[in-house]
Structure 1
């Protein structure tokens, strides 16, 4: 493109071209480039540019984040180039005895941090890319039994706001109260929880399209009954809870391992289970989508993918770049893979004794790849993550042009 000049001064590129170039750069470079000139600094800090950079990073540079619960081990990122690097903590995070990731959204991590066994966990919001961290105010209800708490974290594009949902339960783990934190107001408030009085939420959550989802148990049902396992949805904008039925799996989750995830921006479930002859393992992908069935139900589960038989038990983790992530913690069946010709099974064996064996099942091609994440073993938790410029401070809103 032809460069332009103003009054014979140094040639420059139109701002649209500059924005298009800058949004493709990593956050570390953008932080440095804010020192180039005041104009670039103001541009990089605008809400519109932050949103453009996040959109590009989400689709072009997604990462996987590896964490060990309640550990001082550093977080590790696996990027699109299949390179692993450590994430540097901030002094505030290092001041806690242990930290656990509760959720990940748009480059922000929601953390539960503990200083001692006698004090309740503090909640933090952290953007590792720009090294911003914020300790949230205490909730209105102080509970010391952490097993009775569940926390959800997500973003509402309708409100342009991040919210944290904190539930607490009485004996039997039935929900007895719900509080919601809003980043835009930096405050908590209690909300109604409707028909969740007989529901027990499990601690692992996913968020997508302005909603947070939990795997849950219906305490009015017996183990093994239909509708004992359900999914609870929380709409971040309306703050309403909805119950979603469990997919019709070939067998129940206590004979396999299930994991909520997101596939093509839709709620999905991964299910790892053994074959009938107990020789191999399979991973199935179910997606909750809008489609009217013969009974007139508008939303239904549909099975989108079934893996080829696999020789070891894999724990399903998030879907990353159209690939199902399975983690091998060493729970293996008798070796069934041809070592001399691993390509015949679609496997790329990169290590004989992995600390954490990571397996990627491509949903489109059914190709399987395997590699290792060193110094991460049993207890590792995997999250989708993307580097962003999103601040943990005040939510900024783009002023309308006059």
Structure 2
């Protein structure tokens, strides 16, 4: 039988889903090396536009060990198809999962220990953690530096016993994956009160937090951190929201864009949700041009216990209970219609859900 020329194979492989690539790595050493090459991985990430959903939950095994499980599901109409499943043993009984970044997922326990995994390759790394006597981890995030092609984990620490409103004592540390063997400290003077224990949202090369300003009393702000240059900035929310309290909002990444979700549900309008979409590359002095509003309205039921987690095929996936539906629901903006997403094998009562694009991005060895 005539073999397929290498150049044709190498043209086809970047177009395949990650589930197929994992299997094809076993075909030959040449294929394995090609699929693991950084140029191929970048090309595959750039080509992959179809978003899936990554679902995670924690199962307790004994007093000292739990299992964190991940399922990646592809959404087709109301039906989901499980693409990837992976599980990892972890030494904690509660956890926080950050939104995925090019196929990598970062999660950490309530009492420390930061882990990064790729559910597709079933690889996980535990980042080294130096002794921080008298300090506690405050929040952390995972992002991608487009300039260097490196992935960075950032975390803030504050001394124990320091008031939450005191920002001068905060410390920012950065771990560049596949480069640093330890955390390095980035000096900064925060122009804000630190935003509680709220994890950052990563979108378009920046981390984002909601925060009260330190000196300006005009209302809450959105703090940005440039992943590449490690420089802070401030973004004003829509003018109509300036006077509201910051805890009435949540930041999410939808379709690669930063979104501000208004959680200030009026008693008479619990069936309505406003999503403000941040528009990049516009004059930041023109606040009214920075944001585009998308409104979700359910014809009869309350949606105040839901949060948008992903955009798939132009439709918005909502995580949270809606009467008559389920815990994961799909909203069609064009038709204004809700429908439940069946997630088949996943039967957990409590789970975390976010958008996901499968990739072959490697997880570095433990440091």
TM-score, normalisation: structure 2: 0.80
Which residue of the other structure, out of 28, 31, 49, is the alignment partner of 1:37?
28
Q: Secondary structure at the match of 2:39?
A: helix
Partner in structure 2 of residue 4 of structure 1: none
Which residue of the other structure, out of 190, 204, 222, is the alignment partner of 1:195?
190
CA–CA distance in structure 1, aligned partners of residues 317 and 238 of structure 2: 20
CA–CA distance in structure 1, aligned partners of residues 253 and 294 of structure 2: 14
Which runs of structure 2 are paired with 1:385-396 in the superposition (5 Å)? 385-393=356-364
Which runs of structure 2 are paired with 1:373-392 in the superposition (5 Å)? 373=343, 375-377=347-349, 380-392=351-363
Q: Within the alignment, does 1:165 sit opposite 2:143 as a pair?
A: no
Structure 1, unmatched stretches of 5+, are 1-9, 115-119, 333-351, 395-402
Q: Within the alignment, does 1:182 sit opposite 2:182 as a pair?
A: no
Which runs of structure 2 are paired with 1:342-381 in the superposition (5 Å)? 352=324, 354=326, 356=327, 358-363=328-333, 366-373=336-343, 375-377=347-349, 380-381=351-352
Kindly indicate whether the alpha-carbon contact (under 8 Å) linking 2:252 and 2:258 is maintained by their aligned counterparts in 1: yes
Cα distance, 1:140–1:45 mapped onto 2, change above 3 Å: same
Which runs of structure 2 are paired with 1:283-294 in the superposition (5 Å)? 283-292=274-283
Cα distance, 1:328–1:98 mapped onto 2, change above 3 Å: closer
Distance apart, 1:392 and its partner CA: 1.1
RMSD: 3.2
Which runs of structure 2 are paired with 1:224-373 in the superposition (5 Å)? 226-227=218-219, 229-249=220-240, 258-263=249-254, 265-274=256-265, 277-278=268-269, 280-292=271-283, 297=286, 300-310=289-299, 311-314=301-304, 315-321=306-312, 322-329=314-321, 352=324, 354=326, 356=327, 358-363=328-333, 366-373=336-343
Kindly indicate whether the alpha-carbon contact (under 8 Å) linking 2:250 and 2:260 is maintained by their aligned counterparts in 1: yes
TM-score, normalisation: structure 1: 0.74
Distance apart, 1:198 and its partner CA: 3.5
Distance apart, 1:63 and its partner CA: 1.3
Kindly indicate whether the alpha-carbon contact (under 8 Å) linking 1:200 and 1:218 is maintained by their aligned counterparts in 2: no
Cα distance, 1:68–1:205 mapped onto 2, change above 3 Å: farther
Q: Secondary structure at the match of 1:32?
A: helix
Kindly indicate whether the alpha-carbon contact (under 8 Å) linking 2:255 and 2:310 is maintained by their aligned counterparts in 1: no
Partner in structure 1 of residue 85 of structure 2: 87
Kindly indicate whether the alpha-carbon contact (under 8 Å) linking 2:156 and 2:173 is maintained by their aligned counterparts in 1: yes
Higher RCO, 1 vs 2 (CA within 8 Å, ≥6 residues apart): 2
Distance apart, 1:12 and its partner CA: 3.6
Partner in structure 2 of residue 105 of structure 1: 101
Distance apart, 1:230 and its partner CA: 1.6
Distance apart, 1:279 and its partner CA: 6.4
Distance apart, 1:122 and its partner CA: 0.8
Kindly indicate whether the alpha-carbon contact (under 8 Å) linking 2:55 and 2:71 is maintained by their aligned counterparts in 1: yes
Cα distance, 1:304–1:143 mapped onto 2, change above 3 Å: same
Cα distance, 1:178–1:144 mapped onto 2, change above 3 Å: closer
CA–CA distance in structure 1, aligned partners of residues 337 and 14 of structure 2: 32
CA–CA distance in structure 2, aligned partners of residues 56 and 130 of structure 1: 19
Kindly indicate whether the alpha-carbon contact (under 8 Å) linking 2:86 and 2:119 is maintained by their aligned counterparts in 1: yes
Distance apart, 1:211 and its partner CA: 1.2
Q: Deviations over 1:216-238 (max 9, x none)?
A: 233556xxx532x2211111111
CA–CA distance in structure 2, aligned partners of residues 95 and 217 of structure 1: 35
Cα distance, 1:48–1:364 mapped onto 2, change above 3 Å: farther
